[in-house]
């Protein structure tokens, strides 16, 4: 075993211990058996400790976390060294020291090191594959990205099954008791499946988040947190589990393949106990849930949350609504602003409103936040509305009443209803909401108002906002590509119920969730006349035209401005026609099976003359070719594509003269140009923003992009095969923002960058092999910010040069080194 830890604290201690063991085991006869056991243990933990120690600095971990392990290794080193000084005839000392060596080996294999290191390695921050560390950073990143992984955050990873953050506080003795009981059951031998059941809104998912972040549970288990939803796909879930564990995804076609691969996965990662959380399992999904159960695999446990009970599961934990006192405490906390105490109009009014929420945490928090800062008359109106529901009202009715006013600001209710346009249990990209809201509500181009609206929804507990990159500086660039909105299932149901009020022709939003080829009757219904003829004769000519009224398809004209259509993996029928003359935003969500190679945009898009925003998202595991792109019209101003294969160059054939922003996320866009490809600058002459994120087949940006004069924001991020930018980049004289973070293969910036006099922000964080900046960088008079993870490492001479920029570049920290800084150690 050759170990090189580059001098890091724990790695150095491990190196020294291993060296001493190798020497002493040869020189000392009396302790050979114990020393060989220690050597075997060190062989086993070496790849784990190497991974954990090598990347600790990059993950910004506190050195204090490593000190106990470092102390343990140093303690072992001294024990081993003493072996050579003990006379082999001194039986008492040999016996005593052998016991100490035995105890030390047990410590290595126990919770103090081995289990702790395994838990750290499988933490969501550790997405690097241990087996591939020695092959170099480039190969490591490429492998991670090809399998859908992502550095640090796992943002782009389809297999990111890390436990969501737990809430800051939970209220209720019952919740605390439930946590204790579930913790005991999970740590108990023999327990394999636990079901946590309760009505919607009782806090099942919150309870499990808190449990999974419990020190005893988080430190012991490799945890995978899987949102199941109404229409789960076993094959996709198993693929994500492989990705989550940084393993190559095997070919999985059938459910039998998935079950077999899942069993193999559990054996591979079984060195650490596995906890699988299946969140929100519906009764229709019971057969899928049962396929996750392998009782013969030791140290593998499943916890299921569901609104329903499963009679074949022995351990069922019922989570009840909060009693009045605890409901009142949660309500008080939720109605307060920034933790400040709040005095209600009077205790009686307060108690009555809390009683109407039935002890349901979701209802309590939503209703409480709708009352923040309101006077007594508003509280009385709220109580009156809730009282009209009756004693048997369900939580959806209760939540609906909380939307009635919303400060009289109907726009927040509109944004809340818009969230129903995205599938259940999926993170909603903040950038998709920005694109949609900017066009629907005529907001500012950068989406500042849209982000404010999203934060308002979060403030009122109608949505959550997650930033998947903790080191992100996106707020400064007004980008938000790492931010995602999530929504409780009941709130999504409420949003869709509100959208579906009234006749389909008059709805402002049309949200359709199609199963298979089952279209609503009003969409695909054929109107056929009833004929009274007793004799029918039909002659067919070469150019057959059916008479009017025979085969005419009656389509209602819909007034919806926002249209969302979701299809599952069994959808195969060509799109029926649809009349959408008022549609301004179209959201297409789809899943496919492994045999499907392409997805065609519906022809009816041709007739949507007012369409401004198009969002197409493939939720399948594999990228799918996007066809029929010619149907998009010149009215489009924003396009967002996710997990699709579409040639950026081939888009030069389109006529998107009003397009201002186009975004590609996890797409394949870098196919080679053909002689028939038209200039992309002619297709989108007014493009203002180009976003390319996690597009791994992109090697360089097409030169034609540099001819789009209005372009202000260029973002090429997490594209690990991009090695260079076009030399003509300087022609983009309107550029204000360039984001190149995590383009790990980028070698240099073009010299022409010096002509970008409007450039304000340059982000080159995590461009690992970008060793120098062009001299022309000093010509950027308006440059206010260079983001290099807020640190510049240079020699003494370089420090003087950077000092001239220190006062104009925000938060720039200059660190001078005596020796030349380089990144060669990353290639070891």
| DSSP code string of 204-217 | HHHHHHHHHTSHHH
Give the pLDDT score at 639.
Answer: 96
What is the C-alpha to C-alpha distance for residues 247 and 240, in angstroms, rounded to an integer? 10
Beta partners for 627? 600
Q: Is residue 405 pLDDT above 70, yes or no? A: no
**How would residue 493 be classed by pLDDT, with cut points 50, 70 and 90?**
confident
Question: What average pLDDT does range 757-762 have in this prediction?
Answer: 92
The tokens of 148 are what? Answer: 């859908």
Tell me, what's the pLDDT at 109? Answer: 66
Helix, strand, or coil here: 196? strand
Q: What is the mean pLDDT of the chain?
A: 77
Whole-prediction pTM: 0.66
Q: With 90 as the cut, is the pLDDT of residue 163 above it?
A: no
The pLDDT of residue 127: 36
Chain centre distance of CA 654? 32
Residue 131: Cβ within 10 Å count? 12
Residue given tokens 């490799």 in the structure block: 222
Residue 814, pLDDT score? 46
What are the CA-CA distances from residue 9 to residues 13, 53, 122, 165 (Å)? Answer: 6, 8, 21, 30
The reported pLDDT for the residue numbered 7 is 44
The answer, yes or no, to whether residue 227 has pLDDT greater than 80, is yes
Judged against a pLDDT cut of 90, whether residue 665 lies above it is answered with yes
Indicate if the pLDDT at residue 522 is higher than 70: yes
CA angle at 243 for the pair 239 and 245, rounded to the nearest 5°? 120
- Residue among 800, 212, 249, 199 nearest 488 (CA): 199
Give the distance from CA 710 to its chain's centroid. 32
Enumerate the domain spans of the chain. 9-134, 157-318, 321-397, 646-778, 790-828
Token pair of 718 as six digits: 């997490």
Backbone angles phi, psi at 396, to 5 degrees: -65, -40
Could you give the 3-state DSSP secondary structure of residue 102? helix
Residue 608 phi, psi dihedral angles, 5° rounding:
-90, 80
In the chain, the percentage of residues whose pLDDT exceeds 70 is 74
- Asked whether the predicted pLDDT for residue 384 surpasses 70, the reply is yes
409 vs 183, more confident: 183
Contact 385, 405 (CB under 8 A): no
Q: How far apart are CA 225 and CA 205, in angstroms?
A: 10
Please, which residues bridge with residue 398 across strands?
Answer: none
CA distance 198 to 253: 34
Q: What is the 3-state secondary structure (H, E, C) of 237-260?
A: HHHHHHHHCCCCCCCCCCHHHHHH
Which has the minimum average pLDDT: 19-23, 93-97, 391-395?
Answer: 391-395
Q: Which has more pLDDT, 134 or 753?
A: 753
Torsion angle in degrees (nearest 10) through CA of 588, 589, 593, 594? 80
Q: Tell me yes or no: is domain 321-397 CATH 3.70.10.10.
A: no
What is the three-state SS of 133-153?
HHHCHHHHHHHHHHCCCCCCC
| Buried-exposed string 426-441: b where 16+ CB fall within 10 A, e elsewhere | bbbbbbbbbbbbbbbb
Give the 3-state DSSP-derived string for 801-814, with helices as H, strands as E and coil as C: HHHCCCCCCCCCEE
Q: What angle do CA 227, 232, 236 make, to 5 degrees?
A: 90
Hey, what long-range contacts does 765-770 have (CB within 8 A, 24 or more apart)? 765/471, 765/473, 765/741, 765/789, 766/151, 766/741, 766/742, 767/740, 767/741, 767/742, 767/743, 768/137, 768/744, 768/823, 768/826, 769/744, 769/745, 769/823, 770/746
For residue range 584-629, list pLDDT tens digits in order.
999 999 988 777 788 899 999 999 999 999 999 998 888 889 988 8
Furthest-apart CA pair in the chain: how many Å? 119
Q: Which of 126-140, 350-364, 525-539, 705-719 has the highest mean pLDDT?
A: 705-719
Residue 771, number of CB atoms within 10 A of its CB = 11
Question: At CB < 8 A and 24+ separation, what contacts does 462-467 make?
Answer: 462/366, 462/412, 462/416, 462/487, 462/491, 463/416, 463/419, 463/487, 463/491, 465/430, 466/164, 466/165, 466/427
Nearest by Cα to 278 from 238, 249, 243: 238
Fold of 646-778: 3.80.10
Residues 280-292: tens digit of each pLDDT: 888 777 777 788 8
Element (H, E) at 599: strand 598-600
Residues 157-318, CATH architecture: 3-Layer(aba) Sandwich (3.40)
Q: How many other CB atoms sit within 10 Å of the CB of residue 255?
A: 15
Decide if pLDDT at 330 tops 70. Answer: yes
Distances (CA, A) of 259 to 104, 291, 635: 40, 7, 47
């Amino acid at each position: 075993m050759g170990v090189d830890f580059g001098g890091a604290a724990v790695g150095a201690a491990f190196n020294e211990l291993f060296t001493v063991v190798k020497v002493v085991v040869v020189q000392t006869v009396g302790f050979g058996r114990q020393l060989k056991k220690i050597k075997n243990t060190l062989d086993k933990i070496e790849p784990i400790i190497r991974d954990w120690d090598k990347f600790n600095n990059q993950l910004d971990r506190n050195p204090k976390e490593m000190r106990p392990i470092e102390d343990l290794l140093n303690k072992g080193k001294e024990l081993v060294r003493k072996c050579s000084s003990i006379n082999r005839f001194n039986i008492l000392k040999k016996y005593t020291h052998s016991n100490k060596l035995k105890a030390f080996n047990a410590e290595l294999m126990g919770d103090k090191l081995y289990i702790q290191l395994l838990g750290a390695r499988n933490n969501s921050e550790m997405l690097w594959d241990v087996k591939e560390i020695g092959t170099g950073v480039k190969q490591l990143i490429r492998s991670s990205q090809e399998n859908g992984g992502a550095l640090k955050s796992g943002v782009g990873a389809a297999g990111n099954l890390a436990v969501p953050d737990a809430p800051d506080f939970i209220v209720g003795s019952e919740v605390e008791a439930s946590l204790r009981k579930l913790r005991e059951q999970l740590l108990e031998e023999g327990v394999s499946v636990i079901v946590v059941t309760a009505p919607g809104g009782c806090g099942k998912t919150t309870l499990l988040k808190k449990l999974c972040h419990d020190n005893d549970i988080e430190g012991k288990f490799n945890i995978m947190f899987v949102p199941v939803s109404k229409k789960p796909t076993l094959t996709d879930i198993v693929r994500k589990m492989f990705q989550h564990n940084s393993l190559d995804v095997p070919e999985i076609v059938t459910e039998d393949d998935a079950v077999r691969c899942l069993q193999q996965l559990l054996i591979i990662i079984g060195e650490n106990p596995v906890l699988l959380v299946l969140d929100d399992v519906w009764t229709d999904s019971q057969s899928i849930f049962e396929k996750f159960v392998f009782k013969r695999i030791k140290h593998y446990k499943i916890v299921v949350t569901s609104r329903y009970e499963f009679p074949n599961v022995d351990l069922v934990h019922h989570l009840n609504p909060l009693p009045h006192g605890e409901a009142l405490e949660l309500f008080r906390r939720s109605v307060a602003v920034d933790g400040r105490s709040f005095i209600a109009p009077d205790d009686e009014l307060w108690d009555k409103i809390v009683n109407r929420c039935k002890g349901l945490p979701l209802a309590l928090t939503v209703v409480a936040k709708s009352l923040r800062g309101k006077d007594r008359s508003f509280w009385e109106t709220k109580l009156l509305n809730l009282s009209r529901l009756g004693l048997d009202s369900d939580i959806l009715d209760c939540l609906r009443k909380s939307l009635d006013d919303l400060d009289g600001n109907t726009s927040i209710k509109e944004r809340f209803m818009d969230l129903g346009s995205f599938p259940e249990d999926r993170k909603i990209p903040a950038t998709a909401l920005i694109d949609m809201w900017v066009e629907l509500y005529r907001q500012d181009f950068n989406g500042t108002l849209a982000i404010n609206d999203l934060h308002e929804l979060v403030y009122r507990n109608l949505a959550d906002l997650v930033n998947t990159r903790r080191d992100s500086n996106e707020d400064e660039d007004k980008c938000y590509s790492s931010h995602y909105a999530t929504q409780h299932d009941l709130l999504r149901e409420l949003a869709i119920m509100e959208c579906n009020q009234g006749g389909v022709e008059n709805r402002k939003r049309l949200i359709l969730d199609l199963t298979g080829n089952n279209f609503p009757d009003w969409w695909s219904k054929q109107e056929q006349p009833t004929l009274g003829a007793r004799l029918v004769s039909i002659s067919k000519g070469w150019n057959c035209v059916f008479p009017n009224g025979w085969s005419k398809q009656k389509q209602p004209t819909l007034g919806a401005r926002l249209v969302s259509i979701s299809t599952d993996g069994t959808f195969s029928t060509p799109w029926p026609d649809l009349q959408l003359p008022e549609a301004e935003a179209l959201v297409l969500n789809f899943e496919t099976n492994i045999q499907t190679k392409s997805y065609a945009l519906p022809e009816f898009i041709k007739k949507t003359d007012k369409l401004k925003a198009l969002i197409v998202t493939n939720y399948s595991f594999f990228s799918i070719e996007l066809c029929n792109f010619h149907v998009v019209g010149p009215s489009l101003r924003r396009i967002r594509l996710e997990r699709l294969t579409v040639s950026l160059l081939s888009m030069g054939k389109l006529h998107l003269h009003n397009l201002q922003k186009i975004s590609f996320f996890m797409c394949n866009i870098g196919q080679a140009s053909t002689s028939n490809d038209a200039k992309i600058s002619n297709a989108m002459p007014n493009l203002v923003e180009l976003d390319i994120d996690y597009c791994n087949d992109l090697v360089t940006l097409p030169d034609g992009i540099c001819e789009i004069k209005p372009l202000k924001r260029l973002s090429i991020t997490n594209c690990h095969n991009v090695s260079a930018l076009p030399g003509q980049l300087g022609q983009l004289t309107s550029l204000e923002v360039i984001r190149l973070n995590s383009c790990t293969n980028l070698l240099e910036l073009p010299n022409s960058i010096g002509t970008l006099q409007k450039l304000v922000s340059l982000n080159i964080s995590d461009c690992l092999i970008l060793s120098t900046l062009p001299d022309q960088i000093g010509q950027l008079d308006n440059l206010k910010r260079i983001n290099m993870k807020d640190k510049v490492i240079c020699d003494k001479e370089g420090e003087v040069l950077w000092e001239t920029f220190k006062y104009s570049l925000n938060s720039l920290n200059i660190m001078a080194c005596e020796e030349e800084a380089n990144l060669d150690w990353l290639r070891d």
